[in-house]
Amino acid sequence: MIPMEILYEAYFALKIDFEGDILNDVLYRRYDFASFVITWGHVKFFIGQFIPELLTHSRKQDTGQVREHYDRGDDFYNAFLGETMIYTSGIWQHPDDTLEQAQVNKLNLVMNKIHLAKGEKHLDIGCGWGTLLAHAAKEFGSDSTGITLALNQTKYANDTIKRYGQSKNARAHCMDYRDLPKDKYNKITCLEMAEHVGVRKFQAFMRQVYDLLEDEGLFYLQIAGLRRAWQYEDLVWGLFMGKYVFPGADASCPLGWVINQAEQAGFEVHSVETVGIHYSATIKRWYDNWNKPENRQLITKKYGEPWWRKWAWFLGWSVISAEQGSATCYQIVLHRNTRQFDRKVFIAERARYKV
């Protein structure tokens, strides 16, 4: 049995190979040949990088990590995200939905969950390539503002908004969330960005969002998480993700921790939905896109074979991790926990959903 870390590092270094497009199939059989033990490499990463980053989360650190990751190249991300350029879980209303339809399903679900209405001020923290901003403004009539630390994403997001014909109603800014002006918003969304805030800064972030929200406002938080009763594979997978894919995203925690942070900041929980299996289906489509011959050729030519292999392994293993519960994703709707908040707004709310 080979330690999993030794196996994937040998694959990235081109020392071993798999015939054809079978990596995902190989990973499903990983317990036949791999062991999930903690290696000296894991210990060095945990002590030398993970812990120092967890304790810091300075503006300089967060900016460097985000831009190194998300500014790698729009073509890099398009090679697996597809035309919607959405790097968060889709929602599958039917097993035969396309990736694009699943992402539209998700966008509509998010807007419905926050009861987004025409003319409302909406803030999207970690707006990515801007598709949610453009969709919210066009389909729900919001006045939407998004922020991201990534330079390429900011330009792409504003181009997306322009393409949707929503330049008057939506915009994206390159900005650290800590620098947001003390304005007020009817609705705030944050889809899979809060992990990057980090454990140490998370409570301050939640209090900041609370202060930005109108008294009758709603906050939608979508966040990747880990099961509390973890197994050794979960830990090895998490260390792999921290080293190769999402450095600094240390606030991927069990649901109870996230809810405790929200309630401590003054929020009341309206709803929680676990969508890990939807994430597995989403990532499987990303994996299939990444393996298309034209995309593999593009990535290996421009970025090199090791980069293609790293993301093939990341996507292939993540399909399984989300499928078996090692990792998951939570959709959480929050509002101010005050006596004055009109909770009757939630009566028969699904009857008002736009699908």
Q: Is 145 helix (H, G, I), strand (E, B) or coil?
A: strand
Q: Does the pLDDT at position 20 exceed 60?
A: no
**Pick from 106-120, 164-178, 179-193, 232-246: least confident:** 232-246
Of 206, 151, 158, the C-alpha closest to 175 is: 151
C-alpha to C-alpha distance for 47 and 100, rounded to whole angstroms? 40
Phi, psi of 341 (to 5 degrees): -60, 130
Q: Strand 327-336: give its sheet, edge to edge.
A: 170-174, 143-148, 121-125, 185-191, 213-226, 327-336, 267-274
* Contact of 99 with 88, CB cutoff 8 Å: no
Q: pLDDT value at position 80? A: 97
Tens digits of residue pLDDT in 55-95: 788 888 888 888 888 999 999 999 999 999 999 999 999 98
Which tokens go with 313?
A: 């392994």
* Contact of 354 with 111, CB cutoff 8 Å: yes
From residue 87, alpha-carbon distances to 10, 191, 283 in Å are 27, 9, 10
Q: pLDDT value at position 19? A: 65
Which tokens go with 65?
A: 């990590």
Any domain includes 67: yes
Exposure string of 277-291, with b = 16+ CB inside 10 Å and e = fewer, is bbbbbbbbbbbbbbb
Q: Which residues contact 192 (CB under 8 A, 6 or more apart)?
A: 87, 88, 89, 126, 222, 223, 224, 329
Q: Does the pLDDT at position 349 exceed 70?
A: yes
Residue type, 238: G
In DSSP terms, which residues pair with 274 in a beta bridge? 330
Any domain includes 62: yes
Any domain includes 20: no
Give the CA radius of gyration of the chain: 20
Q: Which residues contact 147 (CB under 8 A, 6 or more apart)?
A: 123, 124, 125, 126, 127, 172, 173, 174, 175, 176, 177, 180
C-alpha to C-alpha distance for 69 and 246, rounded to whole angstroms? 8
Of 22, 42, 1, the C-alpha closest to 312 is: 22
Q: What share of the chain is helix, strand, coil (3-state, %, to 5)?
A: 55, 15, 30
Any domain includes 306: yes
C-alpha to C-alpha distance for 204 and 254, rounded to whole angstroms? 19
Total domains present in the chain = 1
Any domain includes 331: yes
* Structural domain boundaries, residue 136: 58-229+249-352
Any domain includes 214: yes
Q: Does the pLDDT at position 51 exceed 90?
A: no
C-alpha to C-alpha distance for 14 and 30, rounded to whole angstroms? 19
Any domain includes 171: yes
Q: Does the pLDDT at position 21 exceed 70?
A: no
**Against a cut of 0.75, is the pTM above it?**
yes
Any domain includes 100: yes
* pLDDT band at residue 355 under the 50/70/90 scheme: low
Which tokens go with 224?
A: 């990747």
In DSSP terms, which residues pair with 146 in a beta bridge? 124, 172
Output the domain CATH number for residue 270: 3.40.50.150
Site of tokens 């990792």? 327
* Contact of 269 with 332, CB cutoff 8 Å: yes
Q: Does the pLDDT at position 116 exceed 90?
A: yes
